[in-house]
Amino acid sequence: MYRSDGEAERVTGYVHFIPLESGIYLCGGLCVDSRAYRVLSQAQRDAVASQGSMARWLLRESIDALGPKQAVFAFTGDARSRRDVIALGFEPTASRYLLVQWHGADPAQRPDLIRRAVAIGPF
């Protein structure tokens, strides 16, 4: 959300998470309104730049807000989106568009979690 002086608050970015099961999330629908950059002050643009991008900032904060987690999966073929999720510690999987950010998942269970996320298809 963003609010400039004297304006109503407006949405500048969106992402959603679908719980696959307790602690396992599917991340999708990320979008950022690029028009928001034009109304930011220099200090605000500097704050965004310090986070990498609005998308990266939104992802970082929203993943942190999920609480305890085992894994977060992202499904994307967009080059900018892939760059942002990889910068946040997501790793590519054998599936072309599926990436994962591991948290507390037992390494022995990871192949099965990837298989289950792949079976869902785009999310």
What pTM does this model have? 0.86
Instruction: Give 108's pLDDT tier (boundaries 50, 70, 90).
Output: very high
pLDDT digits (tens, 9 = 90+) for 19-41: 999 999 999 888 888 888 787 88
Residue 22 and residue 27: Cα distance in Å, rounded? Answer: 14
Angle, alpha carbons 25-29-32 (nearest 5°):
125
Overall average pLDDT of the 94-104 stretch: 96
**Those residues with Cβ within 8 angstroms of residue 53's Cβ, 6 or more apart along the chain or in another chain:** 32, 80, 84
